[in-house]
Amino acid sequence: MVLDMIHFAPSILSADFTQLQKDIDDVQKGGADYLHFDVMDGMFVPAISFGMPVLKCVAGKTELFLDVHLMIVEPERYIEEFIKDGANLVTVHLETLKEPEKVIKQIHALGAKAGLAINPETPAERIRPYLSMIDMALVMCVHPGFGEQAYLSSSDEKIAQIASWIREEDLHVDLEVDGGIKMENVERIAALGANVIVAGSAVFKGDVEENTREFIGKIK
Ligand code: DX5
Ligand code: ZN
């Protein structure tokens, strides 16, 4: 049972890239233990974000656990490179995979943890068969592609459902939530059973260190 350990994962998608080192130092000082890294390819999602060169720089400068969320088609083509460049955990989208089990094994064989994500329109049941093979399930709480969107209330049921499967089957799987998490709803969402909490726009606005501390105060 891993769900008792809470991790906070600021998404650097909303960071100020002209002062990325400072933003990362601030979330670390505020108590974050993960750093969420949103890779977008303009194919699986409309936007393009960043990739290996940024990850490589960040990995060389921080001790934070690097949680890499691949919103890209054919992620199996790039997994090895992301792990080589410092990813501790690689999350791929179930919607992009023809052979999910094979890709999960590929991530593990390369020495990283494996996460599997589902979009808002993908039913929770689709991820269930893979829960015993992965280290983390990721429930997208917005349509992926952009920061600063509103939390979709339909995510509540999915989070609670997956958390109950993890509990009932005593699985060693973390449950991550991503998208629309704010100071006002984080407590309620964590109480549904999520234990890895991603937040982007709500962290990297104003006092980053203080925002991080306040988030963590609400969930730990
Ligand atoms: C959405 C990304 C999220 C995003 C979260 O496509 O996967 O990680 O950065 O941002 P907020 O917290 O602003 O919704
Ligand atoms: Zn993400």
Q: Whose CA is closest to atom 1 on ligand 1?
A: 144
pTM of the predicted protein model: 0.97
CA proximity to 9, closest of 184, 183, 176: 176
State which residues have CB under 5 angstroms from ligand 2, the bound ion.
38, 69, 178
CA atoms within 13 A on the CB side of 64: 30
Strand partners, 23: none
Residues near ligand 1 (Cβ within 6 A): 11, 13-14, 36, 38, 69, 142, 144-149, 178-181, 198-202
Reading the chain (220 residues) residue by residue, the pLDDT tens digits are 344 599 999 999 999 999 999 999 999 999 999 999 999 999 999 999 999 999 999 999 999 999 999 999 999 999 999 999 999 999 999 999 999 999 999 999 999 999 999 999 999 999 999 999 999 999 999 999 999 999 999 999 999 999 999 999 999 999 999 999 999 999 999 999 999 999 999 999 999 999 999 999 999 8
Q: Which of 26, 38, 67, 135 is catalytic?
A: 38
